[in-house]
Amino acid sequence: MTNAQTQVQPLLKNVIVDSIEKNEKGNFPKSAKEVLESLQIGGYYRFVTNIRNMSESYSHLENNKKNIFVGDDAQIPQLMLQIAGNTSSKTSFGTDLFLWSPMTGQGQLENVKGLNLGVSLYGNFTTKAGDFNVRTGGINWFALSPFTFQANKGYNRYSLFERNPWDPNTAKVDSRYADFYNSGAINQDLRWGNQAFQGIILEGSKLPHQLSFSAMYGKTQFDGGFNGIPNTSYGGRIKKDYHFNKNSIAFNTFNNISQLDSIRTDKTAGFNIGTIEWLHYFNKIKMYAEIGMGRKFTSAQTSKWGEAISIKASTDIANKVPVEIHLYRVSPNVFNNNSIFINSSIQQNTQMNASNQPVLIPVSSAVLPIGQLSNNRQGIEINGQLNFGKFKNSIGYANAMELKKLSNKITYSHPFNNIALAHFWRWDFPSNVGPYQNLNKIYRSVFETVNITDLDSNLLPTNRKYFNTIEINSKYKTKLANKDFYLFYLGNFNSVQNNFAPLVQFTEKSLLRTYDHQLEMYWKLSNMFVWNNYASFERIIANYSTQTDVVTRRPKNQTGYSLATGLDVQMSKNVGLYLRQRWMTYKDASFAKDRYKGWETTIELKAFF
């Protein structure tokens, strides 16, 4: 090697290294730049099939007494894929994709793949002034206050035998039943207590002077949904914490304006509501109140402002008996279909779309579970927990009355066979169906209507209606063959009458009486298996001030029985198999066509990943 070659080689080496380093930073990098700080993919697969065999059925099922249905007619997808990521420490995004194959015989047309909740973008920003969060796009589950934007949570008195589409798999095969026995509640997903909202949500916390706020602008599932007509819902809250952030006071508002006609922009309807919310602890007594005003309007008429009042006081007597007393009053002029109270006084016009009716009919004077409020009603609720060793009891009492005589109807549901009855009508949510056109299907439930016949010249009831309710949920745990055994009882007793009564009325003076009993048994056979058993009985009786049958000339007199068994199988940590077999019989002794008898089998396989 010459001296010239010895001098050139280091020079060429430096040139090559410099060229590579420049290319790394140039147009053709050797490695991809990091775009996401993190990316998470998860979700679930849920296979569910329902087999029904009826020996007696409603007339519309005469040619379909035997039926096999694959999928969930509550419009829940079989495969949900959840994708979330962070583009920086302050910005994240998420979306849900679904795959849906209901197997209705339409072939490729029915295989749906697309966005379920839509793409949502989340931003979290920490500044010297406070912490801020932005959510936009897709559908976000959110809550403000009970009267403005929130779903009813109730008092955890319900049956566990029938599984819901949103029920998770648990770490242990009996965790669902053990948690319900120990704490009176079970794990729920993010939808529990929240409402669906599509649009933009801005939140601020840790602001000066212990302030925080929320603001929202977009659409709800009841006012516009996915319809392209520019319906708008908006609201928010300003909250002030005090006394070491233990107590608070807040102003909340929620409003809607809906365009009812895609051509005529002057045909609109909507509502406004604003409330003051207060939470304060007086030693061991917790006081909570929400007081506000609301109204409903259309392009033709605006109602007067009405009051909405809810006051709760709760304490734990001697650290052994938790008790809550609730007083409430909701004017018939107050309307908000995104709150914890239902509409029983105002007919709401909406747009027609794939899953909603053009008119959301008021549910009239409804028999309601404790915790579910209604407008045009005031009352008192008392809820308590009383335990005797392993015997735990949750007891509720309610007494309410209407404020005005607005409806000549009473509505009620059938808790013991509610989901099985809802399966009689697949996919749709029809009104005025059944052998006497007095049934209305809503999501995974059916409510029935009975007409009152004592009316004045304006076809309104001659008296206001009074409501009484008692709920009992008793739970007991023991060992059977050295295995955990859970015994749960749920009882509901209701009466509706024309006069005030301190307790549920069991006589013919009641316009309507409903009683149902549900007994559930869960036996943990091993770490893989839980054997479930269920029995229920229902009685519904109306008096002669309600509509009678044209043949028998007698009012409603309904009796229902249901027996069921099932098995929970924990196939792995994230995979569960759930089998349910139900036998049911029901008839109205006065209305001959109102009867059914048969059985139903449900198989569900759910896997999380």
What contacts 65, CB < 8 A, 6 or more positions away? Answer: 52, 53, 54, 55, 57, 598
Q: What is the pLDDT of residue 95?
A: 76
The Cβ-side half-sphere exposure at 530, using a 13 Å CA radius, reads 25
**Cα 95 to Cα 71, 115, 139, 140, 595, distances in angstroms:** 23, 8, 9, 10, 45
Q: What is the pLDDT of residue 6?
A: 44
Class of residue 417 by CB neighbours under 10 A (exposed 0-12, middle 13-18, buried 19+) = buried
Could you give the dihedral angle defined by the CA atoms of residues 223, 225, 229 and 232, in that order, rounded to the nearest 10 degrees? 50
Q: How many C-beta atoms lie closer than 10 Å to residue 43's C-beta?
A: 17
DSSP structural state of residue 224: B
Q: What is the pLDDT of residue 318?
A: 75
Q: What is the pLDDT of residue 260?
A: 67
Rounded Cα gap, residues 238 and 178, in angstroms: 39
- Name the percent of the chain in helix, strand, coil, to the closest 5: 10, 50, 40
Ranges in the chain, pLDDT < 50? 1-13, 15-17, 19-24, 349-361
pTM: 0.86
